[in-house]
């Protein structure tokens, strides 16, 4: 017996629904990036990291990545409200290009109630992919 674990979206669904899911994923990405910063400070020592020009550039780059990701999410969220719910698209091909199964599930309409990388994971835990 075989089971199809691939999320099959409806042939056509409202574009605002798809964009809302993209906004949620972008917020998730911003959250994941944001979690890197304190880890880097712990690894490199906050005094050494903050006094190194190269390290400061990396930290500023992380901050910029978070701001850009959140900015994109807010932009898409705002224009989504202007799109008529009657506009529909077939997202099957686009979803087939998404390689992360959790992201594919979330974008395909699967319900996800937590961030993709919860803080409760123990150090050393990892997922095979």
The 10s digit of each residue's pLDDT in 8-36 is 655 789 999 999 999 999 999 999 999 98
Look up the domain containing 66 and give its range.
14-107
Mean pLDDT value of segment 85-100: 92
Domain-located, residue 99:
yes
Specify whether the CB–CB gap between 106 and 91 falls below 8 A. Answer: no
Which tokens in the block code for residue 27? 């917020």
Mean pLDDT (the chain) is 81
- Residue 18 CB neighbours (<10 A): 21
Domain-located, residue 101:
yes
Please tell me whether residue 47 adopts helix, strand or coil conformation: helix
Domain-located, residue 1:
no
Domain-located, residue 7:
no
Domain-located, residue 85:
yes
pTM above 0.85, yes or no: no
Structural domains of the chain, count: 1
Domain-located, residue 121:
no
Domain-located, residue 117:
no
Which of 40-49, 57-66, 107-116 holds the top average pLDDT? 57-66
Domain-located, residue 74:
yes
Please tell me the distance from the alpha carbon of residue 113 to that of residue 102, in angstroms, as a whole number. Answer: 12
């Amino acid at each position: 017996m075989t089971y199809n674990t691939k999320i099959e979206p409806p042939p056509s669904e409202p574009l605002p629904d798809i964009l809302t899911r993209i906004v949620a994923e972008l917020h998730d990405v911003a959250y994941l990036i944001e979690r890197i910063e304190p880890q880097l400070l712990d690894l490199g020592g906050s005094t050494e990291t903050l006094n190194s020009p190269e390290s400061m550039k990396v930290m500023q780059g992380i901050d910029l990545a978070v701001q850009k990701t959140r900015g994109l999410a807010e932009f898409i969220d705002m224009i989504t409200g202007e799109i008529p719910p009657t506009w529909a698209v077939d997202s099957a091909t686009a979803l087939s290009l998404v390689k992360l199964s959790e992201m594919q599930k979330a974008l395909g309409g699967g319900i996800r109630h937590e961030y993709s990388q919860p803080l409760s994971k123990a150090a050393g835990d990892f997922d095979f992919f």
